[in-house]
Amino acid sequence: MAILIIAEVDKQGLGPECAKVVGAASALGQELHLLVAGQGVGSAAEQGAKLAGVTKVLVADSDCYEHQLAEPLADLVVEIADEYSHILAAASAKGKDLLPRVAALLDVAQHSDVIAIVSADTFVRPIYAGNALATVQSLDDKKLLTIRTSAFDAVADQAPAEIHVLGNTQANDLSRFIGEELVVSERPELGAARVVISGGRGLGSGENFALIEKLADKLGAAIGASRAAVDAGFVANDLQVGQTGKIVAPELYIAVGISGAIQHLAGMKESKVIVAINKDPDAPIFQIADYGLEADLFEAIPKLTELL
Amino acid sequence: MKILVPIKRVVDPYVKVRVKADETDVELANLKMAINPFCEIAVEEAVRLKEKGHAEEIIVVSIGPKAAQEQLRTAMALGADRGILVEHDEALEPLSIAKVLKAVIDKEQPSLVLFGKQSIDGDNNQTAQMTAALAGMGQATFASCVELEGDQVKVAREIDGGIQTLSIKLPAVVSADLRLNEPRYASLPNIMKAKRKPLETVTVADFELQLKPHQKVIKVAAPAERSGGIMVGSVEELVDKLKNEAKVV
């Protein structure tokens, strides 16, 4: 049986995480089909067809899928689920919203935030904010996984695969889209950035985040934040890194004025190199930092920006 | 209307758990337990909806050991009207919990089911979505604002790029994100009053459900430790290390 990957699409096309979910699915060694559902998703489908390993792209283009709401999309996935042994999606807000609904409708378990695929039925996932790793074996005939994309590599491009248009529509009146307020940013997307600089409560105010922004501009980095910084209103909540926010694993993570609570560490401790700048020598962040600097961030950050 | 709030007893979020030596599970004996923080936010939201005159009754339900009564009493001290404990000693998977909750929903007929978005032990983030599917309800997950408008609930949701607003037909399932509200503290008089509120105890067997395991935990291991880093003395030294040793800038 083949594997179904549910693609995320937005107005720009295919979501950047999709190539990593395909990368995770490649380990299973079966035919990979990509489901691209939405409205006006022609270019996303073409992008998806070029991902190495994808043998078929299924396109469901209808206004009922426009915002990829869980109710109609789950019904669509259930309708085509018969021929698939595995159904995968990114462990993003959309994937987390959708896949448990599909799992319940199919009466199978769903495995969240998978970080390693051991075999076709055995997966590794973090529990307790990443303080333990559970290896679980699925006893169901269908395996539904959301993939922690920071744990897998994106696949390269290939010659485009076949695109197959589905006629299915699954309109329902359970939910209705009202509006969206997206944060516009010139910086790289937090989940995909090579360098992430995060600020915490130590910044003291939203205005002081300008210091972080200057450093981020210099390094081409994405900006993140601790929950304390978000709760204090310094930055928007979609920048939060942690168990309850985004999980990142960049090459370089610079934590500025962040103590390093369990909740925050869960979102960044897989980063390759961690730098901590904090004036409290006892801050737990120093225990996991590769390079720690005990200093006042208001002096250290401008200097760092100048030297880089 | 009636609001049902499922809550979970979990290890206190500030406790750092350790994996058992035989790698079968994490060590939970003698650890401080608490209401899952996201569930507490769901309870708070239900209480606020009642205070605004949108709800008549708030029922909290927990599926777990007898000791989960403590968390139900805490929720009642925060303002829930009555509690249901579905006693079950072994941990259940999200799908099984959703099936039990579907049975409770069938009996209680709530207009709104308010969940926490995930439990901080299993980190699954599934039960609300699964319950919505089984109950045939619409879902609004990761809510940061909830408003009742006639036969609809308008919910602002935290999505990856910002905020999305949906309108869901009642009865509906909503799951709470951290920023939905700031839970209140229970006052001593309310804690005393909560002791007299009704708490019904049933067991999973009472629902005549066919629950089966869908997964087997093979092992629970500690994550790889990060090798200890170094402290640098100055910004210059930091830049030097990043450029020449780590080679990341």
ipTM for the complex shown: 0.96
Contacts with A134 from chain B: Cβ below 8 Å:
217, 219-220
What percentage of residues in chain A have a pLDDT greater than 90? Answer: 90
CB A123, CB A145: distance < 8 Å: yes
Classify residue B223 by its DSSP letter.
Answer: P
pLDDT above 80 (res B123): yes
Q: Which of B31, B121, B178 to mutate to test the interface with A (most CBs of A within 10 A)?
A: B178
Taking CB atoms and an 8 Å limit, are A103 and B178 in contact across chains?
no
Residues A115, A110: Cα–Cα separation, whole Å: 14
Average pLDDT over residues B20-31: 94
Contacts of A71 (CB under 8 A, 6+ apart): A101, A172, A174, A175, B138, B139
Average pLDDT over residues A202-229: 95
Residues B98, B92: Cα–Cα separation, whole Å: 10
The CATH-assigned architecture of domain B2-244 is 3-Layer(aba) Sandwich (3.40)
A12 annotated as a binding-site residue: no
In chain B, the residue whose alpha carbon lies closest to the alpha carbon of A253 is: B248
Taking CB atoms and an 8 Å limit, are B26 and A128 in contact across chains?
yes
Strands B112-116 and B82-87: unpaired
A199 annotated as a binding-site residue: no
pLDDT above 80 (res B23): yes
In chain B, the residue whose alpha carbon lies closest to the alpha carbon of A218 is: B249
Give the CA radius of gyration of chain A: 21
Please identify, in words, the CATH class of the domain defined by A195-307.
alpha beta
Query: Hey, which residues does A119 pair with through a beta bridge?
Result: A122
In chain A, the residue whose alpha carbon lies closest to the alpha carbon of B36 is: A128
Residues A41, A9: Cα–Cα separation, whole Å: 7
Residues B71, B62: Cα–Cα separation, whole Å: 8
Instruction: Give the pLDDT score at A16.
Output: 86
pLDDT digits (tens, 9 = 90+) for A145-177: 999 999 999 999 999 999 999 987 888 899 999
Distance from CA of A295 to the nearest CA of B (A): 8
A237 annotated as a binding-site residue: no
Distances (CA, A) of B67 to A142, B197, B198: 35, 17, 16
In chain A, the residue whose alpha carbon lies closest to the alpha carbon of B97 is: A104
Is A2-165 assigned to CATH 3.40.50.300?
Answer: no
pLDDT digits (tens, 9 = 90+) for A224-279: 999 999 999 999 988 999 988 899 999 999 999 999 999 999 999 999 999 999 99
Record the tokens describing residue A164, joined without a space: 């197959």
A21: number of CA atoms within 13 Å, CB side?
29
Nearest CB to A104; choose among B130, B157, B169:
B130
In this complex, how many residue pairs, one in chain A and one in chain B, have their CB atoms less than 8 Å apart? 248
A21 annotated as a binding-site residue: no
Q: Is B48 exposed, middle or buried (0-12, 13-18, 19+ CB in 10 A)?
A: middle
pLDDT digits (tens, 9 = 90+) for B217-226: 999 999 988 8
Could you give the residue range(s) of every CATH 3.40.50.620 domain in chain A?
2-165
Instruction: Give the pLDDT score at B148.
Output: 96
Average pLDDT over chain A reads 95
CB A64, CB A52: distance < 8 Å: no
CB A242, CB A227: distance < 8 Å: yes
Could you give the residue range(s) of every CATH 3.40.50.1220 domain in chain A?
195-307
Instruction: Give the pLDDT score at B14.
Output: 87
Record the pTM.
Answer: 0.94
Cis status of the peptide bond prior to B6, with omega within 30 of 0: no
Average pLDDT over residues B151-158: 97
Strands B162-169 and A175-182: antiparallel
Average pLDDT over residues A124-146: 97
Average pLDDT over chain B reads 96
Record the tokens describing residue A217, joined without a space: 């501009």
Instruction: Give the pLDDT score at A170.
Output: 83
A254 annotated as a binding-site residue: no
Average pLDDT over residues B47-52: 98
End-to-end CA distance of chain A: 52
